[in-house]
Copies of this chain bind each other. A is one copy, B any other.
Amino acid sequence: MRIWNEYRHERERDEVSRIYPKGIHETIAERLRASPDFEVETSTLDEPEHGLGEKALENTDVLFWWGHGAHAEVQDGIVDRVAQQVLAGMGLVVLHSAHYSKIFRRLMGTNCSLVWRESGEKERVWNLAPAHEITQGIGDYFEIPHSEMYGERFDIPQPDKLIFVSWYSGGEVFRSGCVWERGHGRIFYFGPGHETYPIYHDANVQRVLENAARWARRRISRSTNEAPNRPSPIEGGALWTR
């Protein structure tokens, strides 16, 4: 698997680097590396091809995506390449503010807009799907003491399954854990996370990400970007002519 990060905040703002000194991607990667069956790599925006070369992606079973302030700098050609890999079977885990990334909007087909408030308020994440792979080890709910509010209406296609709904002390709700299949790939959006709150150090959040990495793994690798002609009827017989 591969953790992608735009990796700008952490190099530019002290309040971010204090919490994620090597970058959000490394915080997540370190935790996932604790699973002996995971091979974890990272890529960042400022690498050539954003670290997402054709070969690298073909060998990626799940891609995690963090973006926030630099969505517009991701090249359209790379977005298409990632989208084709998801449709061919690669998993995608979309983190917090990546709701507004090109790749997520591209795969959803919607604007993925939401209401927000940077308020440090309490978020309580309710588990609606206790039998799902992604929630194993998670209780009825868990709390994030200081979070950014992301609220409805979230402009997404109806999820294939709704995993988490968040409650905020300020008064909103949010579909904070959603899964979809697109092509042959599995997609998980997970709301909790922020660059200036230590949310990716939270044990419940880490458990969810580990579970999601297992759930979203590539099962097949088969492009859907072609429309094959089958000139002869399977059942035989001549073609019709006027």
Contacts and interface: CB of A to CB of B under 8 A. Distances in A.
Interface of A: 83, 87, 89, 100, 106-111, 113-117, 119-121, 124, 126-128, 130-133, 136, 140, 146, 149, 151-153, 155, 157-158, 160-162, 165-173, 175, 180-186, 219-220, 222, 224-235, 237, 239-242
A152 B165 contact: yes
Interface of A is mostly: loop
A217 to B, nearest CB: 11
This protein's copies in its complex:
4
Contact of A127 (B120, B132, B153, B227): B153
A224 B131 CA distance: 12
A172 B126 contact: yes
B219 A117 contact: no
A60 to B, nearest CB: 16
A133 B181 CA distance: 13
A237 to B, nearest CB: 7
Given A131-B89, A171-B235, A116 B230 contact: yes
A20 to B, nearest CB: 15
B220 A111 contact: no
B172 A241 contact: no
A224 B110 contact: yes
A214 to B, nearest CB: 13
Given A111-B225, A117-B229, 20 more contacts: A110-B183, A113-B228, A117-B232, A119-B233, A119-B240, A121-B240, A124-B234, A127-B152, A128-B152, A128-B153, A130-B184, A131-B185, A132-B219, A155-B224, A167-B167, A167-B168, A167-B172, A168-B233, A171-B234, A172-B230
